[in-house]
Amino acid sequence: MAVEIVMPRLGWTMEEGTLVEWIKQDGDTVEPGDILFVVESDKALNEVEAFDAGIFRIPPDSDVVGKLLPVGALLAYIVEPGEEPPFEKAASASPTTTPSASASVVPTPVIAAPSNAPASNGERSNGLPAISPRAKRVAGELGVDWMTLKGSGRTGRIVERDVRAAAQTRPAAARVSPVARRAADDLGVNVDALAAQLPGQRIMREAVERAAAQPAPALTTADETRTPIPRLRQVIAERMAASAHTTAAVTLTTEVDATDLVRVRTSLKAAGEIDARPVPTYNDLLAKLVAETLADHPQLNARFDGDSIVTARAVHMGLAVDTERGLFVPVIRDVQAKTVRQIAVESAALIAQVRAGSVGPEALSGGTFTITNLGPYEIDAFTPIINLPQCAILGVGRIVAKQVVIDAEAERVAIRHMMFLSLTFDHRLVDGAPAARFLQQVKRFIEQPYLWLVN
């Protein structure tokens, strides 16, 4: 029995995805675990595996590569060897009624074989060249305009060898991988111009992303530059707007003496010279101490779910990561149960995956609290936006050496490493005083790291 292959839901917020490229082609044999195709969801490229064995069949007029499709949209089938897929059964069905009877019956529309059947001159009835389904898919993958080709197949039909021959004789500027072409559409990169700068090379996604990072030239007029909004930026905009309009957001700010935290980090860095494991970053230290704080203030580790408030027992910490493609928030799970060293190893691996574009959707969902650190960009304090459906987010500013009064009566001052924290929380879930007590304990843990390091 034919198994339908549909656009999968690759995250709890995913409503639609883009089919980037087919890995298996029509007629290929597949086994469970084989990669069938690549899908781009909101923020990640994902390889989709087969769960069944059989023959992979793609409808002949399928034109879904590069298209944004809803979750559940039918893409292909896996059938038993020798079994006809549903689209072939529909195409081979012929009417059994007489002409007089059929005149009163409206037939069910199907993708009929004659629509692809070539006339004697190699054209369809609509005047376009006839092309095999496989050749059409290969043309899409290689960026070949098949409507300009002359077919060498029987009755003049365009076949795969015609497309590949055209791809070989065409200028190098047109050789672009399907993933790179999709990335170029999202980032507004002219792939033909890029390929002209890289003669003889196949343009891959990395080259497109590097080009996108370069300053874009002015378009159309001297007064303004108009650029299409990339899909990722659309997703970020939608979620930020939803957070701003849905939550009753309040931000509390405090200044913290991080001198002892700096000493801990300096000692770990020195020890890292003889230890091959990643050195814990400030974000790793903060993730651990915030998780310890949330154990005492669980109301900030909560979310709305319909008419209920759900308080998570575990702390799944989101760490905001800036990349050339936009903002990503990978999640470290069960932070409360891990050591700082374990957190450091896991966060380093996640950040590497995010920046390489290989992070999966499961690593970007399920967070219960988020930390965003703009200290490396010399920002002191800011107003972070809550990462829905979470209750709160902690913004971290830069660490700056300052002259600070440490004993007002004795008029003593000292140079201390100071840092601002900005906690944005949803006032619908938490009142101001409990949120302030949470931030106060985070401050105490930063100023006295031994309070949580010994836990």
Active-site residue numbers?
Answer: 427, 431
Token digits of residue 88:
């072939």
Q: Is 58 in a helix, a strand, or coil?
A: coil
Residue 99, CB half-sphere, CA atoms under 13 Å: how many? 0
Cis before 389? omega within 30: yes
Longest Cα pair distance anywhere in the chain, in angstroms? Answer: 109
CA–CA gap between residue 350 and residue 354 (Å, rounded)? 6
Question: Over 328-387, what HEC string results?
Answer: ECCEECCHHHCCHHHHHHHHHHHHHHHHHCCCCHHHHCCCCEEEEECHHHCCCCCCCCCC
Q: Is the dihedral of CA 18, 20, 26, 31 positive or negative?
A: negative
CA–CA gap between residue 148 and residue 158 (Å, rounded)? 10
DSSP assignment, residue 394? E
Alpha helices, DSSP H, located in 51-98: 86-92
For residue 392, what are the CA distances in angstroms to 30, 73, 300, 309?
Answer: 45, 35, 6, 14
